[in-house]
Every structure is written in C-alpha cells, then in structure tokens.
Chains A and B, each alone.
Chain A
Amino acid sequence: MEILNTQSNRRSFIKSVAVSGGGFILGFSWLANAKGATGAESGEQIEINAYLRIGSDGTITIQAPNPEFGQGVKTSLPMIVAEELDVDWESVVVEQALFNMDLYTRQFAGGSQSVRAGWNGLRRAGATARHMLKQAAADQWGVSFDEVATGDGRLLHAKSDRSLGYGEVAAKAAKVAVPENPILKNPEDFKIVSSTKKNVDGKDIVTGKPLFGVDVDHEGMLIASIVKPPAFGMRLKSFDAASAREMPGVVDVIQIKTFEDDYQRRIFDDNAFPDLVVVVGETTWQTFAAKKVLKVEWEAFDDTEITLGTWGGGSRAAVIPGGLESTSDHEEKLAKLDEEAGGVARKDGEPEAAFDAASQVLDRTYSAPYLAHNAMEPQNFFADVRGDKIVVEGPLQAPQFIEQTVSERLGVPIENIEIRMTRMGGGFGRRAYCHYVVEAALISQRMKRPIKLVYTREDDMTFGIYRPAYRMRYRAAIDENKKVTGFHIRAAGIPESPLHANRFPAGAYENYLAESSSIQSNITTGAFRAPRSNFNCAAEQCFLDELAETVGKDPIALRLELLQRAKNTPVGDRNDYDAERYAGVLELVREKSDWGKAKPGVGRGVAAYFCHNSYVAHVVDVVMNQGRPVVERVCSAVDCGIVVNRGAAINMVEGAVVDGIGCALFGEMTIKEGVPQKNNFHQYRMIRSSEAPKRIDVHFVKNEIDPTGLGEPPFPPVFAALANALYQATGKRLYRQPFVDQLET
C-alpha cells in the first residue's frame, strides 16, 4: 500500500468540522503534487485542494473543484475522492465548487492538468476521511482500528459481524484527529477509478436545465452587448448613440475601457479591443438590434507600448504594432523566414556538416492558418457590482487570473469578489482569456444594476485570441546508404513559434538543429487545444512519413527505430519524452489497427505525439468518394497512465479526433486589412455529422502510472495521421492547412 503524508510543505492542514444535523465536513488544502514533476506544460501552479461533506443520513457530497467545459472533471475528480473514501458512487452527490483560493487552488481548466494535478490531493481527501470514519467506528465498538474495514459506504467489523453507515458515525469522525499518513488503496483494488461513470450533469443536459453562463438569470438583470472595432489595428474614435437610444428596450449606451492606459496586463489579459461601446437593454434581441443602428467612428492606431505580465510574476515591455494587417502579408513574411536562420533553440552535433556531406536532402515546408475557437456558447458573463462587492457568474477557464484583474480594475479587494463558475459550452483555450468578466463587471458598476453581457456569434468569432498562424520547414540530410545523418527544423509563427525543440525526434539524431522565429502582430492569439503542439506535431509527423518513404521504410518501423535509439543512446540530456512509452502507443496502434493489412482503395496514415504528459498514436483510414474524403475508421492508442473515467476518456479521444479532422480539413480564419474575413458559421466551416469518421476505436495502454492529461494529447496527431492517409488515398502530399480546397478541386 502507498502511504502519503498529509502534512506536506506549505499550507499543510486538514480541518474537520462537525455540522448541525450530525454530519461532518472535511476541508483540506495542501500541495497536491511536486511542482513540475515532469514539467507542467506552461508553468501554471499545480496545487489543489478539495472538500467533502458526509451527512448523518449517509449522503456524501463531493465538491468538484475545477471548471467544467466538457472535459469531464466534474465527474472524474469526485470519482477519485469517492474511490479512496470507499463509497458506493450512487450515493455521491457532486457539486460544482465555488471559486475559492483559500479552500482550493489551481481551479483552472487548461493544460490537461486537472486530473494530473488533482490526483494525489483528491486521493488523500478520500483516504483521510475514511481513516477518521474507521477510527470513530473503532472507538464506538471498542475494537482496534485495524479490525475495522470499509465497503460501499459502510464500516464493517467482521469478528462481531457489526456494521455502521458512514453517516451514523460522521459526527464522531469529525472529532478524530486528522491522520498524518492516511493509507491509500492499491490501484488493483480500485472499483470506481478506471470504471465508467456517466456524466453527473447528463440528465440536466438532456432536459434543458439552466446549466450554462448564458442561462444565468437574476432579478432586475439587464442585458448588455458590445460594439467593438471592425478591424484589428483600429480603436474607438467617437460614437453617436442617439438613434440606438431610441430603439425599444434600450436602457443606455455607454463606453467602457477594459484596461486603463498604464495598466500592466496579466497573463491571459490579451485583448485587442479594450475600448468598447456597450448597449444595455431589457432583452437580448432588443439589445442586439440596437447595436446595428449605433453610429461609431473608428481610427487606426500607431505602434503602442504596453507592459505585459509574465509567468512567475515578472513583467516586460511590449509593443502592439500599428497598421491593418492581412493574411497575404503574413504569408509573405513567414515564407521569407524559410530562408533566414532563426534563434537556435537546440543544436546537437554538427548538423551543417551533415547537410554539406549529404547525397540527398528532403526539404519540406508546412503551414497552418489562424483558427477561431468557436465554442458553441458565445462569450457571456453575469455581473452584479454593488459598492465594493462584486458577484460574477458564468463560463471561464481561468478564474484565479481574472479575479486579480477585476480587483485592480474596479478597485475592489479580492475578498469582496465572488466568482461562480457555471458549466461552459466549450472552451478549447478561449475562455482562459476572460476579458468579458472585466467588461461585465465594469458595465454593472456603471449601470448600478445586475447585467448579463452576451456576445453575438459575430462578436465572438471576430474578437481575436486565435490559434497563432504557423509555418515550419523540415530538412533531413540523407547519405548514399539512405541513412539520415542530419535533421533541421526552422519554425516560425505569428506571434509565436510552434517549436518544441526537445520533443521527439530530438534525441534520436546525432546532428540536430532547431531554430525559431516569430513575427509580431496586433492580431491577438491565445491557447488553442494543445498550444503549439497542434501544429508542431502536424508538420513533424507528416515530414517523418515522407522521410520514411524516401528512405524506403515503413512509417511505424522508422519511428520505432528512432525511439529505440533515443532510449538506448539518447543524444542530449534535455529530451522531454519517455521513448519507451512513446514506442508503446505506436506498438499498440500497430497491433489494434492491423497495420500492414490495408484494404485496397483505403489510404492509411499514422501519427504519434507526446504532449501534456501523455502519449497518443492514431491510424486513420480514409477513402475518397467523388473528391470528398470519407474517414472510415480511426484507431487510437493512448497512454495517459491510469484512466480515471473510462467511458468519458473514450469520449474525449473521439471528440479530439473529430475536432482534429474538422480543423485539418476546414479550419481557417483569414484577415484582410485588419478585418476577420469570417464572422459566423456560414463562412467558417466546421465539421458536421456526415464528415465525422464512421468508426473510432480507442485503446488505452494499461499501467499503474499516475494519470496524466487527456483533453489535449489526442488532438495534435490527428492532423498528420489524416494528411498521411490522404496521401496514400490520393497520391498528393498536403503541406498547407486547411486541406479541403486541395482535395475538392
């Protein structure tokens, strides 16, 4: 059995409190996991605490600490507590916790870290409570602690054939000293973890209950809607609200500034449009209608200096470039970087010499456009600001960051801000950038009324915070024996490079060079499901496919050979992947997909990747039907350690596959003279029912490694597996995303 210390590091306390009615509450707060054990994706805090309540009637209430946006943590995190508490899952009631930095930390949805960061803390929460209940029962029966067992929410004493419900001793358990070393279960004894538990909100979702931010309704609430510049690089000059004020239901038209000019922007404060005109009205329809008659003048701005916060609390000066940018200019600038050496991110051996001596060089360039997140629920937030008290409620991924921004902007102390997290209608990274919370709070403060800010789809799609635009050039030096002697990556992006320099195949090539460049822009970008990886993987895994063909090897065999080399004789000491686990998913997908037994007319492609601490490989089978790709089957192999909620995990992988195929085929936002060229789903093509794969098979590597991320890792390798399959089906290599126009001609 595993013993974990509850008294680890700072903030080491667990408190138990008896409650009226005889139950008890266990509150706890500690560092749940060694910080950055295997490198958290973005350096965010990996702390968690939680909270559970046992009623005298035996009801177990478990708080789900993290925001839910479809990744399933409202179900999976409480499952971990329930496992160690040893209760019947059917007796558990799950509640969405309030945002509370004193009780919980890392109440953040992002980086695929909720389960990973929560795992130890949540297990300890359950185990601590179980220990205290056992002690209380032992005291009541006058027997030794070791003679008390638990099962399905009951305390059992086999010798005397006695048993007690948890609720019957909960009040006494609350008075038991909190154990320092609660005993955790062996993974092979898990009954809840690794099983399938259905979404705790499933019934409410299918019956239309008000679960989402946009459903929030409070007494006296008005609706607010923004009017923002039509183009990046523009700002508000003046507005004439006379005709809008005449519209039915309009209460007021106001101007807000989301930031003061000298404001030091925090992480996730990215925002191209801090100066807004706001229409406030009685109903959503009236408010949207009034926006259309508002007369606003905009003006282009010059280069603007701002101060940006950085991870770790520092800051740096930055310039937002002036000008009205276009995708065509971006593409030209990025293409020029193909020929320019970038900043060296990693260099092993003598890559230049390897290329000079090569008898053949495979040289390919890949690109991908901006992507809009397009969560189905447009941005919205409720705010009620009364004097120095703020209540905000709605969908957000990053409450702890925006709380500070709201506090500073409105001049209200953090302890006077209550953030209620609703279920989110998707997020995909977009709702980590919660400018709309500040906007809602400012509007309520000005109006002295509770308001709900609601973006139109057009506001949502044209606000920015896009996935950056990327370009990567890959080169391989090949000698006369078809041996790869050098590997070179030149990565660029607007505004950031997609490069992960220490990922595979770094470590497998003696002579390796990875360079990075970036181009600044006034078009805002942000995290999009598996940031950087979502393109780095596409380019790398397409290149490896073509490289395998060039040197006459099977694409899986080539990867396994490289991984074997990276495992046995790794080059460099900064490789950030486990070559054995990486090879494991490739071997599993090879077996499960019957690789090598392709059917005639079916194009098969493979890709694998490691990110967010997990390993995923996909094999895609595609056929072309009248110029239209039909994905017949996707076979996926995943190593994310222990799978907490099996059915939900399969659903997550299926969703990532569908999302990846959609983005690879259709996803694209273009800009002309600063204006986003797509503002709704008639222009921005999204994958639809008939375009989804006909079948997706998901297989997990079985091990007892603590669970790691799953929201993001299955997404990046879809792009390349699809492109590689399309090559087999059509004979055409695809270098430029999205692919659809290159197929349907």
Chain B
Amino acid sequence: MAEFVVKVNGRNRSLEVDPATPLLWVLRDHLKLVGTKYGCGMGQCGTCTVHLGDTAIRSCQFPISAVGDQPVTTIEGLSEEGTHPLQKAWIEHDVAQCGYCQAGQIMSAAALLKRNPNPDDSQIEGAMEGNLCRCGTYLRIKEAIRNANA
C-alpha cells in the first residue's frame, strides 16, 4: 500500500492503494467514477479509455503509480454538463445501442480531435480501431466524429 494524490477531472484526490492497482479500478472502486468501464482487463477493447494529459490511455493497463502529476480526465470530466461537441454529436446521431462501450469510444475520439481537429476517415478509423463495439455502432460513431468536427 502507498499513498497517492491524483488529479482527476480537475480535483486532487488522495488515496491509499497498492501501487500496482490499475487506474481503472482506482477510478471505479475508490473514486466511484464508474463511467469508465471494465471490458477485458488487457487493453484490447478500449472500454476503459481515459485521458492522461491529452493522451488516450487504457486505464486497465495503467498502474496508479505511473500517473504521477499528470491530470486524468474521465468521461465524467470531459465536460461540465455533457456538452462536449462529441457528446452532443453522439446524442444527435443516436449512436448507442447498449451503450456500454460508448464512454471509451468518446474518450478515444476526444483525444483524436485534440491532436487532429480535422481527421480524415482513415485517421478516424486508425484512432478508433482499439475500441470494440459489440452492438456494431461503428458507422454512427464515425459519423458523429465527422460531424462533431465539422
């Protein structure tokens, strides 16, 4: 066990956990931020995607000890009122079916738009390739990203 102070969604949070604990479980079990989802536990499905600084990471593969002083942003902190252009586009295009993977999808897309505000279709696919959607909403996801960007 060790003490950590992590900056999550703009707030400093202190906690005492095993340094090997993945950020995913710190968010979900300790900080009760459950918008970030568990899907595979090995960085294969993308449901656990959050931002470390401006970079999308798989929080299930990222130990809390490696976070340091970089700010963490989760789906709950992407915008104050759910009004990030991607969140609005997701609602507008009625993207979700079951909805389980969508927070991770949005976080991957948000990181893409931060580094490349005008991605072409192959750049969108490249950035989103790590996020599985079992319901098959990929076309709407891509359409929402294109239009959030427009």
Contacts and interface: CB of A to CB of B under 8 A. Distances in A.
Contacts of A283: 25, 29-30
Contacts of A574: none
B82 A211 contact: no
A662 B136 CA distance: 9
B99 A374 contact: no
A738 B91 CA distance: 34
Contacts of A284: 25, 28-29, 38
A682 B61 CA distance: 14
A209 B99 CA distance: 11
B41 A212 contact: no
A648 B94 contact: yes
B138 A658 contact: yes
Nearest to B30: A283
Nearest to A457: B40
Tell me the interface secondary structure of chain B in the complex: loop
A731 interface: no
A650 to B, nearest CB: 9
Per DSSP, chain A at the interface is loop
Interface in A637-668: 647-648, 651-652, 654-659, 662
B18 A248 contact: yes
Given A207-B82, A283-B25, A283-B30, A651 B101 contact: no
Contacts of A655: 97, 135-137
A376 B128 contact: no
Nearest to A424: B98
B39 interface: yes
A376 B82 contact: no
Contacts of B134: 374-376, 426, 428, 659, 686
A382 to B, nearest CB: 13
Nearest to B108: A689
B46 to A, nearest CB: 10
Contacts of B47: 376
A423 interface: yes
Contacts of A456: 41
B56 to A, nearest CB: 14
B40 to A, nearest CB: 4
A260 interface: no
B94 A199 contact: yes
A206 B22 CA distance: 23
A658 B136 contact: yes
Contacts of A217: 32, 34
A248 B138 CA distance: 41
Interface string A272-286: 000000000001111
Given A69-B98, A423-B98, A206 B87 contact: yes
Nearest to B128: A689
B97 A72 contact: yes
B94 A202 contact: yes
A505 to B, nearest CB: 29
Contact of B39 (A72, A196, A376, A651): A376
A681 B132 contact: yes
Contacts of A211: 99
A426 B136 CA distance: 11
A208 B136 contact: no
A425 interface: yes
A651 B82 contact: no
B94 A425 contact: no
A208 B100 contact: no
Contact of B103 (A203, A208, A424): A208
B131 to A, nearest CB: 7
B136 A682 contact: no
Contacts of A659: 134-136
Contact of B135 (A70, A202, A203, A285): A70
Contact of B76 (A208, A375, A378): A208
Interface in B1-52: 1, 18, 21-22, 25, 28-30, 32-42, 44-45, 47
A376 B96 CA distance: 13
A690 B121 CA distance: 9
B106 interface: yes
Of listed B36, B44, B74, B106, residue having the most chain A CB within 10 A: B44
A681 B45 contact: yes
A202 B44 contact: no
B35 A208 contact: yes
A46 interface: no
B142 interface: yes
Given A212-B100, A214-B37, A202 B91 contact: yes
Interface centre among A205, A662, A688 (most CB of B within 10 A): A205
A352 interface: no
Contact of B44 (A215, A682, A689): A682
A377 interface: yes
Contacts of B137: 651, 654-655, 658
Given A209-B35, A682-B42, A285 B21 contact: yes
Contacts of A71: 97
B16 to A, nearest CB: 11
Contacts of B76: 207-208
B140 interface: yes
A680 B44 contact: yes
Given A376-B134, A689-B128, 17 more contacts: A71-B97, A199-B96, A205-B90, A205-B103, A206-B90, A206-B96, A376-B98, A377-B37, A426-B135, A428-B134, A457-B40, A648-B94, A651-B97, A681-B45, A681-B132, A689-B131, A695-B139
30 contacts: A201-B96, A202-B90, A205-B96, A208-B103, A210-B35, A212-B37, A212-B100, A215-B34, A284-B28, A288-B41, A375-B134, A376-B45, A376-B100, A377-B98, A378-B38, A427-B98, A457-B41, A648-B94, A654-B136, A655-B137, A659-B134, A680-B42, A682-B44, A688-B129, A688-B132, A688-B138, A689-B124, A689-B142, A690-B125, A696-B139
Interface of B: 1, 18, 21-22, 25, 28-30, 32-42, 44-45, 47, 74-76, 82, 86-87, 90-91, 94, 96-103, 106, 124-126, 128-129, 131-142
- Top-5 shortest CB links A-B: A208-B35, A658-B136, A425-B100, A70-B98, A70-B97
